[in-house]
Amino acid sequence: MGARTSARPAPEAILIGGSAGAIEVVSLVLSALPSDFATPIVVVVHMPRQRPSALPGALRGKCRLGMREPLDKEPLAAATVYLAPPDYHLLIDPGPVFALSVDDPVNFSRPSLDVLFQSAADVLGERCAAVLVSGASSDGAQGLLAIQKAGGLVAIQDPDEAAQRAMPEAAVALCPDAPVLSARGISHWVQQAAVWQTSSSQGAR
């Protein structure tokens, strides 16, 4: 973990995905972030299909950063947490900007973690970090693998610790060399991304 080379570019986004039992971990991660945490964070958690979504309410007050559901073509902005809107797939398009679709559910889910992760792998490549936490389906594992193959950073919540182990377990099976972390470990891991950001972004962008 600590032996990452300094040549790695800073991620342009940190993606956090989960399903059942994920809200607690996401809350823990977000609450630990300072208000000047620059890297945009994108959260996809499977929720019941309702509008307005229950997700902002569940996370409100847990986070010092601005938090909102992205609009179509909205550029990813610093110091912002983006929550996937219900009943749409959320994707990253070149820019990077957010894109949405109402294509069929993937892995019975819309939004699907695989859809977000695979588009991020394609558009951001190594400039992307993603973590998969508790959940009861296997959505996200293929996408996490795509990000890893594209050179991005990935991490997985320890299935033994997750409220629901199916999702992290599926990811561990596909990405056996990804770090497997406790919830607190994930919180640290996400903040590491900010260090990469500040140490390598002088003059960039």
- Which residue in the list 53, 137, 139, 187 is annotated as catalytic? 139
Q: Which is nearer to another protein, 107 or 118 (CB)?
A: 118
The number of CA neighbours under 13 Å toward the Cβ of 200 is: 16
Structure tokens at 167: 């999702």
Q: What residues line the site for another protein (CB under 8 A)?
A: 51, 69-74, 85, 87-89, 91-94, 99-104, 115, 118-119, 122-123
Minimum distance, C-beta of residue 114 to another protein, in the bound complex (Å)? 10
Segments in the chain forming alpha helices (H): 22-31, 55-59, 113-124, 141-149, 166-174, 183-200
Q: Which is nearer to another protein, 108 or 160 (CB)?
A: 108
Amino acid residing at 8: R
In the complex, least distance from residue 135 CB atom to another protein, rounded to whole angstroms? 21
| Cβ nearer to another protein, comparing 107 with 134 | 107
Please state, in angstroms and as integers, the Cα–Cα distance from residue 48 to each residue in 55, 99, 116, 136, 192, following that order: 10, 21, 18, 14, 32
**Is 134 a catalytic site residue?**
no
User: How are beta strands 80-83 and 66-68 bridged, if at all?
Assistant: parallel
- Helix axes of 141-149 and 113-124: crossing angle, nearest 10 degrees: 10
- State in angstroms the smallest separation of the CB of 106 from another protein: 9
Q: Which of 46, 89, 119, 134 is catalytic?
A: 46
Catalytic choice (19, 134, 138, 187)? 19
What distance in Å separates the CA atoms of residue 127 and residue 14, rounded to the nearest whole number?
A: 9
Using the minimum distance from each CB to another protein, give the nearer residue, 69 or 158.
Answer: 69
Which CB sits closer to another protein, 4 or 149?
149
Closest CA to 156 of 143, 147, 167: 167
Name the minimum Å distance from CB 119 to another protein.
4
Active site residue 158: no
CB of 174 to another protein, least distance (A): 18
Annotation marks residue 139 as catalytic: yes
Active site residues: 19, 46, 139
